[in-house]
Amino acid sequence: MDSVPILLVTANVGSIFDDPTDLLKIWIAEFLSKISNMDVKFIAVHCQEVGGKKYEKSMKHVDSFVKTLLNSNELKSFNKVCVFLDEDFSSVQHFTALGSLYFVHETVDASIWNFKESKFVPLAEKQVYSGNIEAVPIKEKAKFPQHFFPECKWSRKGYMRTRWSIFGTIFDLINIHLFHDASNLVAMTTYPSVYSKNRKYALEHTLQRFHNDQYENVPYFVFGDFNFRTDTKGVINKLTDGLIKSRIQNTKNNDQTKLQYTNEENVILSIGKKEFSHSDHENMFLDYNWLRSFDKEIDAFKDILAEFPLVFAPSYPFEEQVSKANSYMPTRCPAWCDRVLLSHSAKEIIKVDHPVEYGLLGPNTCMGDHKVIPVFSLALLDCCWMAFCTIKGFQRTDCVLSRHGIKSRQQGELTELLIHPVNRKAHYMTTTVQNKFR
């Protein structure tokens, strides 16, 4: 096997656990239906808001959610499973409500990194870690401290990292949930908004932490709910050009204050703390191409992170009613909150002639307020680091041992080879793949 087809999925599942009767079942059915039509050997599902927005009441539904997936016919050939569910909401200092689920096909040789012992360990058949998972050593997890977002209530935002070896190819998978825009009225005052700055700071902090920690730097994929928003100020300026602005002040409750933009006869746009309502809301955002120029938050990371072409509709905020699967709620400006990003080094472990599909799962199905974002059929090269190393005469053991953190006689030369892709015969991957990424 010269490559391994994998599926990376990010899903903010807060809505579905609050509606276990309908949305939860619909979500599972849509996900499993997609799996049944794919030939993948490794599946990574990163969930945010596990247990729902009202997690004290809805966390009980998580267990049945996981059991349904584990017992499904669609996943029966994935005999090695590793699930991490951060469910202990009583632990205020640590609770993130993140859930990372990994399914490994029976034909795949995979191991997972033990962060405490700094070594790879084999996967058991089915490992499910739930409740309080702070002591589990095969994952790294942290909640963002309060000072990262002083303007907001301290909420369950953070990251969870795992490290994998798939047929000798080593990479990190990072589940992340960044801060939302608490108020449209605040977000529209300037760009970047205070919320955007907080997200940037938290993501920078996270990536720098990985770069500077005691573990070897490896390629990584970071996917989750980044809460990236469009330039709200710029969008409003475009939508309200030539309109008359008025402020509707609520003296008893500032949260009810709103701005209205009108022509001579009608209100065209209404903006409140949690209101973003256009008079032609449905059609305005049905054609989303004009909105893409306002998707700017990722630009600050272009030297660090890459992304497949963004050719799908904004993933948030969709209506939560089953009958309105294609409609956006008039609460926020639609945005590409949910993304799959990767380090530039990760581009070099992807098979370049293998088609990649990056888009929405269930575009015509109600999946909650966030649509699921999968990267379909992304193919990892089989032990690609070894392939690079053999260009300079490295033996298989030299490469694999070095990638597992054990020094070899030629460690210095190997390090130079990994840092300077131009030295590799396979550097065509960098140039060939470049045009596929933003």
Q: Is 90 helix (H, G, I), strand (E, B) or coil?
A: coil
pLDDT of residue 188: 97
Structure tokens given for 12: 């903010």
Distance CA 429, CA 415 (A): 19
Structure tokens given for 60: 């009980």
Among 1-10, 158-167, 311-320, 371-380, where is mean pLDDT lowest? 371-380
Q: Is 421 helix (H, G, I), strand (E, B) or coil?
A: helix
Encoded amino acid at 189, one letter: T
Per residue in 256-278, pLDDT (tens digit) is 889 999 998 899 999 999 999 99
Secondary structure element (H or E) that encloses residue 299, with its range: none
Per residue in 232-252, pLDDT (tens digit) is 999 999 999 999 999 998 767
Per residue in 8-65, pLDDT (tens digit) is 999 999 999 989 999 999 999 999 999 998 899 999 999 999 998 888 888 889 999 9
Structure tokens given for 295: 């998707």
Average pLDDT, the chain: 85
Question: 146 or 260: whose pLDDT is higher?
Answer: 260
Q: Pseudo-torsion of CA 410, 412, 418, 424, nearest 10°?
A: -60
pLDDT of residue 54: 85
Structure tokens given for 320: 């939560």
Q: Report percent pLDDT > 70 for the chain.
A: 84
Q: Under a CB-based contact definition with an 8 Å cutoff, are residues 145 and 151 in contact?
A: no
pLDDT of residue 409: 32
pLDDT of residue 433: 30
Per residue in 91-144, pLDDT (tens digit) is 989 999 999 999 999 999 999 999 999 999 999 889 999 999 999 999 999 999
Q: Report percent pLDDT > 90 for the chain.
A: 69
Q: Under a CB-based contact definition with an 8 Å cutoff, are residues 370 and 318 in contact?
A: yes
Is 401's pLDDT higher than 60?
no
Question: In b/e form, how buried is each residue of 92-131, taking b as 16+ CB within 10 angstroms?
Answer: eebbbbbbbbbbbbeebebbbbebeeeebeebeeeeebbe
Paired sense of beta strands 80-85 and 126-129, if any: parallel
What is the set of domains in the chain, with CATH numbers?
Answer: 3-230+285-382 (3.60.10.10)
Is 387's pLDDT higher than 50?
no
Distance CA 253, CA 89 (A): 30
Which region holds residue 103: left if phi is over 0, alpha if psi is between -120 and 50, else beta?
beta
Encoded amino acid at 26, one letter: I
Q: Tokens 């609050």 identify what position? A: 18
Task: Show the 3-state SS of 129-168.
Answer: ECCCCCCCCCCEEEECCHHHCCCCCCCCCEEEEEEEEECC
Supply the DSSP symbol for 308.
-
Is 424's pLDDT higher than 50?
no
Q: What band does 376 get if pLDDT is binned at 50, 70 and 90?
A: low
Among 60-69, 148-157, 207-216, 416-425, where is mean pLDDT lowest? 416-425
Is 412's pLDDT higher than 50?
no
pLDDT of residue 235: 98
Q: Which of 9, 26, 176 is nearest to 97 (CA)?
A: 176
